[in-house]
Amino acid sequence: MNGRAPVVTGSDVGVVFVDFYDYQNVGDDLLFVTLANRYPHVQFVFIEDQTDGATFAALPNVRRLRKIRYVDGLLERVRIPLRVNTLRRRLLVKRSQLVVRLGGSLYMEREGWRKNAARDAGLIGARRGTFFLNGNFGPWQSPEFLATYERIFSGALDVTVRDTASLEQLRAVPQVRLAPDMLFSVPGPAAGDPRGGVVVSMIDLTGREGLSQFREAYEAAIAELVEDLVTQRGERVTLVSFCPHEGDEAAIERVLAAVPERVGESVSTHFYRGDMDAMLAVLRTADTVLATRFHAMVLGFAFGSRVACVEYSDKLSNALADLDELDRGWKLAEFVGATRSERYERVTTLEPASPAAVAERASGHFAVLDEILGVPTAP
C-alpha cells in the first residue's frame, strides 16, 4: 500500500475522530452520515459544536461528545492561557486510530485564518494517520497562507479536494487527490418514482463580504421567478432552507412576503432542522432544482433533476466547470441582472442531469480509507 498504514478490521479499528461543521447544515450533516454508513463496523466520534447531535442519534456506530460550555470563556476573561475544549480535542486526536477532517469550504484566507489553521494542524497526530477529505482550497492571497496549508497537508495520510482548481493550487503536496464532491454518490430515486415541482434553495446574502449588496435584487429575482413558474406553468414550488444558522429561513420568509397572495397558495417551504430523510425526500421527488446552496446543486445532479445554479461562490463555478456544465449556472450578478423572461426561459428549458458517471468518481474520496478500514460486503 505504498507505505500507508496497515489494514485494520473489526475490533482492531478502534475510534475514528471526525471533525466537521456541526451547524445543522444539510451538506455537512449528510457528508458525516455518508461516512458513517459506509463503514458500519467502525466507531466514529465527534464533539458537538453548535447542535446537540440529535441528527445522528439513529446511527449505532456514532458517539457524540458534548462540548464543555462556558469554561473556556471564563478562562479567557481571567487571562489564563488554557482552553479545556482544545486540550480535550488534542487528547482525542492522540487516542484515535484515525482522524478525518470532513467538509467543503474549510480552507479560506479570511480574518482569523491562523486560528483555523492551528486547529487543522492540531488534527495531525492520530495513531494511524489523518485524512482531510472533500475540501476546496481558497480563496487565498498570501504566500504564508498557502505555505501553512502545504505544511499541514504534507503531514496527512490522505487529502482529497473536490475541484480541479483546488488540486492545481496544492500541486506541491503529493498526498492531494481529486474527486467530485462526495455527495454526488448519494443514491437517487428508484426508477419510475413520481417526480414533479421545482425546489429552490436559497441563502441569506446579509453580511456576506462582496455579496450583501445583491441581497434585495437576488430575493426579488427569486420571487419573480417563483411567481412566473406558478402562473405560467402551474408549477408547485418548494423553497428549501439548508442551514437555519446561516439565515436561509429568513431569506425564504422575505421572498414569501414578496410573492402575491394568489401565488403563495402554490408555494410551500421545507426547513431543515435535522431530519435528513425528510429533506432528501423533498429533493429526490423534485423535477427541477434551482440551487444557490452548493449541495443543493450536487444533490440535484445526483438525483437526475433538471439543475440550474446561482453561482454566489467560485466553488459552484469550479464544480460546474469540472462537470462541463457551465451552461447551467449564472454568476450572481448575471442572475440579478437578467430579465425576468431570461430567468424563466433558462429554468424551464433545462435537460435532466446524468448522474451515473460522476457518482462513481465521487466515491474516490474513500479510496485510501477503504484500504485501511475495509468496506463490509453485503450478506
Question: In the predicted model, what is the mean pLDDT of residues 257-277?
Answer: 95
User: In this predicted structure, what is the pLDDT of residue 64?
Assistant: 85
Helices (H), 234-288: 248-258, 261-264, 276-284
Question: In the predicted model, what is the mean pLDDT of residues 118-142?
Answer: 95
User: In this predicted structure, what is the pLDDT of residue 202?
Assistant: 97
Tell me 9's DSSP state: -
Question: In the predicted model, what is the mean pLDDT of residues 66-92?
Answer: 68
| CB-based contact 205:211 (threshold 8 Å) | yes
User: In this predicted structure, what is the pLDDT of residue 11?
Assistant: 41
| CB-based contact 248:279 (threshold 8 Å) | no
User: In this predicted structure, what is the pLDDT of residue 377?
Assistant: 61
User: In this predicted structure, what is the pLDDT of residue 79?
Assistant: 66
**Domains delineated in the chain:** 10-185+359-373 (3.40.50.2000), 198-354 (3.40.50.2000)
User: In this predicted structure, what is the pLDDT of residue 74?
Assistant: 58
User: In this predicted structure, what is the pLDDT of residue 55?
Assistant: 87
User: In this predicted structure, what is the pLDDT of residue 32?
Assistant: 96
Residue 379 confidence class, pLDDT cut points 50, 70, 90: very low
User: In this predicted structure, what is the pLDDT of residue 47?
Assistant: 85
User: In this predicted structure, what is the pLDDT of residue 67?
Assistant: 67
3-state SS class at 247:
coil
User: In this predicted structure, what is the pLDDT of residue 9?
Assistant: 45
3-state SS class at 298:
helix
Alpha-carbon span 276 to 282, nearest angstrom: 10
CA dihedral 52, 54, 57, 63 (to 10 degrees): -20
- Whether the pLDDT of residue 81 is over 80: the answer is no
User: In this predicted structure, what is the pLDDT of residue 73?
Assistant: 62
What is the pLDDT of the chain when averaged over all its residues? 90
Residue 1 confidence class, pLDDT cut points 50, 70, 90: very low
Residue 71 confidence class, pLDDT cut points 50, 70, 90: low
| CB-based contact 28:20 (threshold 8 Å) | yes
| Residue 164 amino acid letter | T
User: In this predicted structure, what is the pLDDT of residue 8?
Assistant: 45
User: In this predicted structure, what is the pLDDT of residue 70?
Assistant: 58
Question: In the predicted model, what is the mean pLDDT of residues 256-264?
Answer: 95
- Whether the pLDDT of residue 3 is over 80: the answer is no
User: In this predicted structure, what is the pLDDT of residue 49?
Assistant: 72
pLDDT, tens digit (0-9, with 9 covering 90-100), for 23-68: 899 999 999 999 999 999 999 999 877 776 688 989 999 998 876 6
pLDDT, tens digit (0-9, with 9 covering 90-100), for 329-376: 999 999 999 999 999 999 999 999 887 779 989 999 999 999 999 986
Task: Evaluate the CA torsion angle 178, 369, 185, 226 in order and state its sign.
Answer: negative
For 245, the grid coordinates are 444558522
| Residue 277 amino acid letter | D
